[in-house]
């Protein structure tokens, strides 16, 4: 049968990796098998076992550089892209983005500590969160990390801390600009009805309150309107709204030096996805801010943005090994793999779609319309399904499946459901593979269990 067209044959955009389904270094070897970063995936699984997370260094660095380059090209003022580490937090990722000149956004003491251990400079870290603990806020202040105030509770505690240490604290505030985006309901954060940030109608009261504090200095604004966004117009509107808020803050004596427009740029998970390029997204927001500042005769603030998914998602793949098959005549064939919702909870949580292929037969040679499989995870949940009716070539127990676009929110949202250990993660580049996360063992899962003495016989 004639070889079928595949997304693997699509032209790769090295300047904007978010527009690709596959990592930049994806290739098919002479034996017809898939490789990433010059490394045979089959050999990686032999060495590191499966399931296995793989990150492509070239794709990661190109994504970081695309944001830096676009900001330098389109924004005439100072700028700083900040990696939203919730997408994939590790000492390695912190080190890599820092080495490319990016800052980092953290939402917990764990992410803050990871960033510092990875070498991110304190002054390039921002601390988010809608329910920061006293311990977390104190950790951030002690380490000279700028706190983004999300609510009145944050403000009260920061005021108390600044007075107790008798030191000025520079803060930013997060507000909801009320912009709706066509994205999943659970990850839409820019509307008025959101757990994040101050309502825009409350800002003048807030500005007045901050101006009356002794030690808090309002230096920046932050807004974020959602995730996996393919539209540019909402970000054009966001820039103008944020500049107008700068004017309002100025009326209360606040000198806003930093404008953080959040992140949210989408990536290409499937062939139906068509996200804007990184350059287009940055150009849109930069042009909007510059135009609004000129209109109101304002100095350009430092422009910050917080890409997460569009930095790391396309760089990551996950490899599974096929186990059991179950055919229900006239309905479907289930193909089970050795992972699932514990290493990728997004399909069961968000009904997220991905692209995949067989490692040993990536182009689906000799496939036909009958080879459609529902790929099920191994967890004790009927909803643990990674793909519904995906078309693959003939496959068998022991074959490997590669799922693309798993660099973001897979490892970081992973769990030990059913007491299943988390996978290992490796970095590939120029034919070399290096471990960046060790595989957990079943014994590791018992490490923090405690049996009370009275139950021990």
Q: What are the residues whose beta carbons fall under 8 Å from the beta carbon of 234, sequence distance 6 or more?
A: 179, 180, 181, 190, 225, 226
Could you give the CA distance from residue 110 to residue 117 in angstroms, rounded to a whole number? 10
Of 262, 408, 283, nearest to 344 by C-alpha is: 408
**pLDDT for res 184:** 54
- Where exactly are the structural domains of the chain? 7-56+316-445, 58-312
- Residue 228 DSSP label: S
**pLDDT for res 194:** 82
**pLDDT for res 191:** 56
DSSP per position, 362-418:
TT-TT--TT-EEEEE-SSS-TT-EEEEEEE--S--TT-EEEEES-SSSSSTT---GG
Residue 48 three-state SS: helix
DSSP per position, 269-303:
SSTT--PPPHHHHHHHHHHHHHHHHHHTT-PPPEE
Q: Which CATH architecture best describes the domain 7-56+316-445?
A: Beta Barrel (2.40)
Q: Which residues are catalytic?
A: 380
400-404/424-429 β-pairing: unpaired
Residue 170 tokens read as 């520079």
From 3.90.870.10, 3.40.50.1860, 3.40.1190.10, 3.20.20.10, which CATH number describes the 58-312 domain? 3.20.20.10
**pLDDT for res 69:** 98
Residue 72 tokens read as 């330098």
Burial track 267-278 (b if 16+ CB lie within 10 A, e otherwise): bbbeeebebbbb
Residue 86 three-state SS: helix
**pLDDT for res 457:** 81
Residue 298 tokens read as 């304002």
Task: Count Cβ atoms within 10 A of the Cβ of residue 318 and give its class: 0-12 exposed, 13-18 middle, 19 or more buried.
Answer: buried
Identical topology for domains 7-56+316-445 and 58-312: no
pLDDT tens for each residue of 234-259: 888 899 999 999 999 999 999 999 99
**pLDDT for res 1:** 36
**pLDDT for res 94:** 98
Rg (CA), the chain: 24
Could you give the CA distance from residue 225 to residue 235 in angstroms, rounded to a whole number? 8
Average pLDDT per block of 10 residues along the chain, 457 residues long: 68 96 96 96 98 98 98 98 98 98 98 98 97 97 97 97 96 90 55 83 96 97 91 89 96 97 95 96 97 96 98 98 95 96 96 96 73 95 96 94 98 97 98 98 96 92
């Amino acid at each position: 049968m004639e070889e079928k067209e595949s997304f693997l044959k699509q032209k790769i955009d090295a300047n904007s990796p978010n527009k690709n389904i596959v990592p930049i270094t994806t290739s098919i070897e002479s034996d017809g098998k898939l490789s990433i970063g010059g490394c045979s995936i089959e050999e990686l699984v032999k060495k590191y076992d499966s399931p296995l997370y793989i990150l492509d260094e070239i794709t990661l660095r190109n994504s970081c550089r695309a944001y830096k380059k676009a900001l330098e090209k389109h924004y005439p003022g100072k700028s700083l892209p900040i990696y939203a580490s919730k997408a994939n937090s590790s000492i390695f990722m912190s080190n890599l983005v820092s080495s490319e000149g990016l800052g980092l956004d953290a939402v917990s003491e764990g992410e803050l500590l990871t960033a510092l251990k990875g070498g991110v400079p304190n002054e390039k870290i921002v601390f988010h969160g809608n329910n920061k603990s006293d311990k977390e806020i104190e950790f951030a202040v002690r380490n000279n990390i700028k706190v983004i105030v999300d609510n009145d509770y944050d403000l009260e505690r920061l005021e108390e801390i600044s007075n107790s240490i008798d030191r000025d604290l520079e803060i930013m505030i997060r507000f909801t600009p009320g912009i709706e985006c066509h994205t999943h309901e659970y990850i839409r954060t820019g509307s008025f009805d959101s757990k994040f940030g101050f309502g825009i109608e409350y800002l003048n009261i807030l500005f007045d309150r901050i101006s009356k504090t002794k030690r808090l200095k309002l230096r920046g604004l932050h807004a974020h309107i959602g995730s996996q966004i393919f539209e540019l117009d909402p970000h054009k509107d966001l820039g103008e709204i944020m500049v107008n808020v700068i004017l309002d803050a100025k009326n209360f004596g606040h000198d806003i030096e930093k404008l953080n427009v959040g992140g949210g740029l989408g990536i290409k998970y499937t062939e139906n996805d068509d996200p804007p390029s990184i350059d287009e997204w940055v150009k849109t927001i930069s042009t909007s801010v510059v135009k609004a500042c000129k209109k109101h005769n304002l100095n350009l603030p430092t422009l910050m943005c917080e890409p997460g998914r569009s930095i790391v998602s396309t760089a990551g793949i996950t490899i599974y090994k096929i186990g059991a098959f179950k055919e229900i005549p006239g309905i479907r064939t289930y193909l089970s793999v050795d992972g699932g919702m514990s290493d990728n909870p997004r399909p069961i949580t968000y009904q997220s779609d991905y692209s995949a292929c067989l490692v040993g037969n990536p182009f689906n040679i000799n496939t036909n319309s009958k080879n459609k499989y529902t790929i099920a995870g191994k967890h004790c949940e009927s909803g643990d399904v990674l793909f519904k009716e995906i078309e693959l070539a003939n496959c068998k127990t022991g074959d490997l499946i590669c799922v693309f676009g798993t660099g973001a929110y897979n490892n970081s949202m992973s769990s030990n459901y059913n007491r299943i250990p988390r996978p290992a993660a490796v970095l590939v580049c120029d034919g070399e593979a290096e471990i960046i996360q060790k595989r957990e063992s079943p014994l590791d899962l018992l490490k923090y269990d405690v049996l009370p003495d009275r139950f021990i016989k």
